[in-house]
């Protein structure tokens, strides 16, 4: 009778232990794996092109179920591969961090369901880096009429080397300036969404007094190329 009672206690304890170990967490036979890739945003590209490479040595975090803090983390290998083993069935969230140009870190997440004894592949996680991430380009063209000291036109064409300025609406001074390229095109890089004024100077043919020519520009979304449709027309006296 005593042995039977002890056996029943053992069975009861095992049932309680099993009940306490259901849901997401360790102690199971499932594996969760995936790849994390790094999208690089170089700030010297004038067409917003990116390069995508394995995010080697990136920290990858795992959250069990509805927990509000990560429960485990691993480091991706040189191919961007990571793996979490010995998991119980349930829902898991996997994430890695993007670092914005401001320094702010943003979690890039994927949520998956894991089944007993199965290897579950997480959709690829893409993280981003680079000063151009989330930013846009403002571009336009400048044509010039070149005059001599007598005010006579000597040539017309692209305003190569002419200086252009960009200023946020509501601020008193420009925050960047660039030179016009040999083809008459200028570009401002790493521009955040917002309202801007792009301007330059020209002179009157008669008295050579400089004056401003400006265009209003709105960048509505990140990672776009906003082109000023109407060319700038300036008069330049060498």
Domains in the chain, ordered, with CATH?
24-129 (2.60.40.10), 136-236 (2.60.40.1120)
> What are 85-119's pLDDT values in tens digits?
999 999 999 999 999 888 889 999 999 999 999 99
> What are 128-166's pLDDT values in tens digits?
998 888 899 999 999 999 988 888 889 999 999 999 999
Vertex 201 angle, CA 195 and 205, to 5°: 145
> What are 173-218's pLDDT values in tens digits?
999 999 999 999 999 999 999 999 999 999 865 566 788 999 999 9
Q: Where are the beta strands (DSSP E) in 100-220?
A: 105-114, 119-121, 125-129, 136-147, 153-158, 163-168, 176-179, 185-191, 194-203, 210-219
Cα separation, 100 vs 142, whole angstroms: 33
DSSP 42: -
Q: Quick one: residue 48, left, alpha or beta (phi over 0 = left, psi -120 to 50 = alpha)? A: left
Cα separation, 161 vs 166, whole angstroms: 16
Element (H, E) at 28: strand 26-40
Beta bridge partners of 74: 60
Residues in the chain: 238
Residue 130 sits at φ, ψ, to 5 deg, of 120, 150
pTM value? 0.71
Cα separation, 143 vs 120, whole angstroms: 59
Tokens 């917003």 sit on residue = 48
What is the per-residue pLDDT for 7? 46
Cα separation, 56 vs 128, whole angstroms: 13
Q: Rg of the chain's alpha carbons, rounded to an integer?
A: 30
């Amino acid at each position: 009778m005593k042995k039977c009672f002890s056996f029943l206690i053992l069975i009861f304890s095992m049932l309680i232990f099993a009940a306490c170990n259901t849901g997401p967490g360790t102690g199971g036979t499932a594996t969760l794996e995936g790849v994390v890739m790094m999208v690089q945003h170089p700030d010297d590209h004038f067409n917003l092109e990116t390069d995508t490479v394995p995010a080697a040595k990136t920290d990858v975090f795992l959250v069990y179920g509805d927990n509000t803090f990560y429960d485990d983390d691993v480091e991706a290998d040189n191919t961007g591969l990571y793996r979490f083993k010995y998991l119980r069935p349930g829902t898991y969230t996997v994430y890695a961090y993007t670092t914005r140009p401001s320094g702010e870190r943003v979690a890039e997440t994927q949520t998956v369901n894991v089944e007993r004894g199965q290897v579950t592949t997480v959709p690829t996680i893409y993280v981003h880096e680079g000063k151009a991430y989330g930013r846009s380009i403002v571009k336009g063209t400048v044509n010039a009429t070149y005059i001599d000291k007598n005010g006579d036109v000597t040539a017309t064409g692209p305003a190569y080397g002419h200086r252009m300025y960009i200023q946020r609406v509501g601020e008193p001074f420009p925050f960047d300036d660039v030179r016009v390229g040999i083809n008459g095109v200028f570009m401002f890089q790493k521009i955040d969404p917002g309202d801007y004024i792009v301007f330059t100077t020209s002179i009157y043919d008669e008295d050579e007094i400089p004056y401003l020519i400006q265009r209003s520009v709105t960048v509505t979304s990140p990672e776009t190329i906003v082109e000023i449709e109407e060319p700038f027309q300036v008069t330049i006296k060498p």
